[in-house]
Each structure stands twice: as C-alpha cells, then as structure tokens.
Amino acid sequence: MFKDTKAFSGFSVNDLEAAKAFYGGTLGLDVGEANGMLQLKVAGGNPILVYPKSDHVPAEYTMLNFPVADIEGTVRELTGRGVSFERYNNDQDDSGIYRGIGPLIAWFKDPAGNVIAIIQE
C-alpha cells in the first residue's frame, strides 16, 4: 500500500519563530513556511515538517540525525555559533563527541528541547 509513497518526518516545537531562527540561522538549513508550519529542506528527500504545539514535550530520544564528513570541524563550528553539546554519562570527550562503540556522534538540542545528533559518516 505504501511501497511507492514518499514518506516524510515531522516533529513539534513550542515556538515556531525560535525554531525558524535556529534551523535556518544556526544550522544553515533552507526553511520554508506553509500552512502555519515550517519545512526544513534537507538534501536527498522530502522536507521535514516542523509544527507548533502549545503543550509540546520534547521526546526522550534523538529526533533528527545529520551525517557529516568531519564531526570535529562541525562541532567546532556549531560551538562557535552558540550550540552546547549534551553530556550523557560523561562518555563524551571535552568537545562533546562520543567515541565509544559505534560511529562518532555528538548530541545537542534545539530551542524546544528536541535532541539532534551529528554522526560521522
């Protein structure tokens, strides 16, 4: 039934303008607006829908993952743009990168508290 359907992802925020500034300004994504919602335009597929929700509660898991070629450089650049990286169980290095089992990864939050990850390709 959905074999040929192009699916897309979405998540909520409590402040659409703050989300627009963060995703467009801080992360440098192209952000569109339609029907009172945002559309994050990412390479390789359909846009990601960001919708306002007054009683928004951030999920307890990663909502969005960005594969990057140079995680150290990306962490430095985001830190310079005011992004703070999350620390879980003190398993990250000084810059916020987890270097344990699996790929190199670093987590941060958007203004609504949604968890985002950058992952070394």
Lowest mean pLDDT among 12-21, 24-33, 76-85, 87-96: 87-96
3-state class (DSSP) for residue 17: helix
| Per-residue confidence (pLDDT) for residue 89, from 0 to 100 | 85
* Coil, helix or strand at residue 76: helix
Spell out a b/e string for 84-121, using b for 16 or more CB atoms within 10 Å of the CB, else e: ebeeeeeebeeebbbeeeeebbbbbbbbbebbbbbbbe
Spans of all domains in the chain = 10-120
Domain 10-120 fold is 2,3-Dihydroxybiphenyl 1,2-Dioxygenase; domain 1 (3.10.180)
- pLDDT digit string, tens, across residues 28-85: 999 999 999 999 999 988 899 999 999 999 988 999 999 999 999 999 999 999 999 9
Average pLDDT, the chain: 95
Q: How far apart are CA 96 and CA 36, in angstroms?
A: 34
